[in-house]
Chains A and B, each alone.
Chain A
Amino acid sequence: MTAARERRSTIHVSPRLTAATAGRVLRQLRHDHRTIAMLLVLPSLLLGLLYLLWKDVPTLPGQASVFDRVGLTMLGIFPFVVMFLVTSIAMLRERTSGTLERLLTTPLARLDLLLGYGLAFGLAAASQALVTVGIATTVYGLDVTGSIALVVLIAVADAVLGVALGLLASAFARTEFQAVQFMPVIVLPQFFLCGLLVPVDRMDGWLQAISNVLPLTYAVEALQEVGWSATATATMWTDVAVVAGAAVLALALAAATLRRRTS
Chain B
Amino acid sequence: MDAAITVSGLVVDRGRRRVLHGLGFAVPPGQVTGLLGPSGSGKTTLMRTLVGVQQVRSGEVTVLGEPAGSPGLRARVGYVTQAPSVYADLTVRENARYFASLYGLTSREADAAVADVGLTGAAGQLVNDLSGGQRGRVSLACALVGGPEVLVLDEPTVGLDPVLRVELWELFHALARAGTTLVVSSHVMDEAARCDRLLLLRDGDLLAHSTPAQLRADGRSPDLEEAFLTLVRAREEVAA
Q: Is the CB of B90 within 8 A of A31?
A: yes
Q: Is B221 an interface residue (CB 8 A)?
A: no
A24 contacts B by Cβ under 8 Å: yes
Residue of A nearest to B70 (CB): A5
Report chain B residues within 8 Å CB of A21: 98
Known: A260-B69, A261-B53, A263-B13. A27 touches B85 (CB 8 A): no
A106 and B90 contact, CB distance less than 8 A: no
Which of B85, B102, B126 contacts A98 (CB under 8 A)? B85
Indicate which residue in A16, A103, A263 contacts B14 across the interface (CB closer than 8 Å).
Answer: A263
Residue among A20, A28, A260 making CB contact with B90, cutoff 8 Å:
A28
The verdict on A97 contacting chain B, using a C-beta distance below 8 Å, is: yes
Size bracket of the A interface = 20 to 34
Chain B's nearest CB lies how many Å from the CB of A9? 5
Q: Does B55 lie within 8 Å of A261, measured CB to CB? A: yes
How many interface contacts (CB-CB < 8 Å) are there between A and B? 90
- A31-B89, A97-B85, A99-B85 known; A263 vs B15 contact (CB < 8 Å): yes
A20 with B71, Cβ < 8 A, contacts A105-B51, A105-B79 known: no
- List A residues 16-65 near B (Cβ within 8 Å): 16-17, 20-21, 23-24, 27-28, 31-32
Min C-beta distance of B83 to chain A, whole Å: 6
Report the minimum CB–CB distance from A64 to chain B (whole Å).
Answer: 43
**A108 CA / B126 CA spacing, docked (Å):** 24
The residue of chain A having its C-beta at the shortest distance from the C-beta of B146 within the complex is A106
Specify which of A5, A108, A260 is in contact with B102 (CB 8 Å cutoff): A108
Q: With both chains docked as a complex, state the minimum distance between the C-beta of B74 and any C-beta of chain A, in angstroms.
A: 5
The answer to whether A9 touches B85, judged by C-beta atoms less than 8 angstroms apart, is no
- Closest A residue by C-beta to B86: A99
Give the residue name and chain of the A residue nearest to B81 (CB): A98
Q: Which 9 A-B pairs have the closest CB atoms?
A: A98-B85, A20-B101, A24-B98, A9-B71, A102-B85, A106-B102, A105-B51, A105-B79, A263-B55
Residues of B bordering A, CB below 8 Å: 13-15, 48, 51-56, 67, 69-71, 74-75, 77-79, 81, 83-91, 94, 98-99, 101-104, 126, 142, 146
User: Which residues in A have some Cβ–Cβ distance to B below 8 Å?
Assistant: 2, 5-6, 8-9, 16-17, 20-21, 23-24, 27-28, 31-32, 97-99, 101-108, 260-263
